[in-house]
Chain A
Amino acid sequence: MNRTFLYGSHKILGAKFVNFSGWEMPIHYGSQINEHNCVRNDLGIFDVSHMNIFDFEGTEAQKFLRYVLTNDVGKVENSCALYSVITNEKGGIIDDLIVYKFNNENFRVVSNCSTFENVKAFFEHNIKRFDCELIHQSNLGILAIQGPKSETSIESMLGLDLSGCKGFSFIVKNSLFISRTGYTGEDGFEIIGEFEELKKIWDLCISKNISPIGLGARDTLRVEAGMNLNGTDMTIENNPFESNLGWVVDFNDIERDFIAKKRLAEIKKTNQFKLVGVLLKEKGILRGGQKIIKGNIEGEITSGTFSPFMKKSIGLARVPIDVDDSADVLIRNKPLNVKILSLPFVRKGKIMI
């Protein structure tokens, strides 16, 4: 099994490990709920070095990314980031990712761990006719420092001024790449750098009593934030419009061609499903795979969990677009009432429903 450069540190901190797509990663360091609340109320540090970093360099780097991403990097300023998906020719989602623009000839993409082979093959296949080079940065790691106190904490620890680094932008300081992005619904930063440098930052955070956060809390945080997990809330069988991601398919520039553009334009008109939030009104816990029923209407929970912040069971569900605000979920064959809501549940320490 693969391990990140911080495996030994996780072990010393008492992590319980889980096999996450072939990576032995910490699921929690004692209590997932405490870790979750640390990020909502204070801050926490995550090792997410299992994720993949691809750099794109060349005179046609922007042209290439405008073709392969559904969202349009043409509208992004230098030193800013953009969330997008990549799809196959049928408009099925291969992965979601964040792309960072240094300038028209230099970009960085961070994509999921579980999809590495497919994403790499996708880029390699499509890049051939462009003057652009793909570099998989396997010698760089990623730390996420997330929570309302992350800005002041990083500033004082690393002696940096982050006031100019707004949401979805990034700075490069010496060998560190620092972006104001994350997967928690809180303010926060992601730091990319060489293993040795990141190990120093990790150790510094731990010495300052910043809580290490496992993948368990990362999952409950992102569900509360209404963010999709690829492979769970969406797969290659799903299009962006039924995955709450219609907003990342950008048709504005009619001159721009991109993969599955025609197909996605058709799907946009005919799509019958949507991804929504669900809140369980009775006792129990929502889980992925549970059926949602309302008369003849049928849907399915894609992610379900207990929300440590709301102290209720919540989930994401794919349902027909005409479903109203109440339905039943089948838990162990018992119908229980759920409320259908728009996402997110939580943003920046506030319950949004």
Chain B
Amino acid sequence: MNETPSDLKFLDTHEWIKIDDDAVIVGISDHAQSELGDVVFVELPAIGDEFVSGDEAAVVESVKAASEVYTPLSGEVIEVNEVLEENPELVNTSPYEDGWFFKLKVTDENLGSADNMMTADEYLSWLDGNN
């Protein structure tokens, strides 16, 4: 079980975001990696790709199944975690640190929609309510 950092915001599709100035880092939650099981492949977006929130931006595959990673905000990809191509298991072992997926540059206007996302505590109690 990985500790849930309190500075992250969460979506009901189990992605997390971390705000870093005018950019956001995107990953998947500890709950999501645990549900997927051993991650063996990650398909990342390309730098320069532009997404609208809700777009499918990456694919994460465990031994058992493939799942989409949706971008929580609109913006342009400015960095991807290339380490995942060789070490996809980081998504399991370090979902909130080394297992991040990509970084998006977002406008202030778009960043505002992060206010509607769940805090770590809200996400955890929402998960409890669903189980």
Contact = CB atoms under 8 A, between A and B. Distances in A.
Nearest to B61: A285
B37 A285 contact: no
A285 B64 contact: no
Interface stretch (B12-20, B38-46, B114-122): B38-46
B32 interface: no
Interface in A278-328: 283-285, 287, 305-306, 308, 313
A24 B40 CA distance: 25
Contacts of A283: 41, 43, 85
A32 B41 contact: no
Contact of B41 (A27, A31, A306): A306
Nearest to B43: A284
Given A220-B63, A306-B61, A32 B38 contact: yes
B38 A31 contact: yes
A332 interface: yes
Contacts of B61: 284-285, 306
A16 B38 CA distance: 13
B127 interface: no
Q: Which of B38, B40, B59, B61 has the most CB of A within 10 A?
A: B38
A293 to B, nearest CB: 20
Contacts of A231: none
A28 B41 contact: no
Interface string B37-71: 11011010000000000000001010111100000
A220 B38 CA distance: 12
B112 to A, nearest CB: 32
Task: Sort chain B's interface into a size bin.
Answer: 10 to 19
B66 A32 contact: no
Interface in A1-54: 16, 27-28, 31-33
Contacts of A27: 37, 64
B63 A216 contact: yes
A67 to B, nearest CB: 39
Contacts of B65: 287
Contacts of A305: 63-64
A313 B88 CA distance: 14
A37 B104 CA distance: 38
Contacts of B38: 31-33
Contacts of B40: 33, 285, 306
Contacts of B43: 283-284, 332
Interface of A: 16, 27-28, 31-33, 216, 220, 283-285, 287, 305-306, 308, 313, 332
15 contacts: A27-B37, A27-B64, A31-B37, A31-B38, A32-B38, A32-B63, A216-B64, A283-B85, A284-B41, A285-B61, A305-B63, A306-B61, A306-B63, A313-B41, A332-B59
Interface of B: 37-38, 40-41, 43, 59, 61, 63-66, 85
Given A32-B38, A306-B63, 8 more contacts: A31-B38, A32-B63, A33-B63, A284-B41, A287-B65, A306-B40, A306-B61, A313-B41
| 6 A-B pairs closest in CB distance | A306-B40, A285-B61, A33-B38, A285-B41, A32-B63, A306-B63
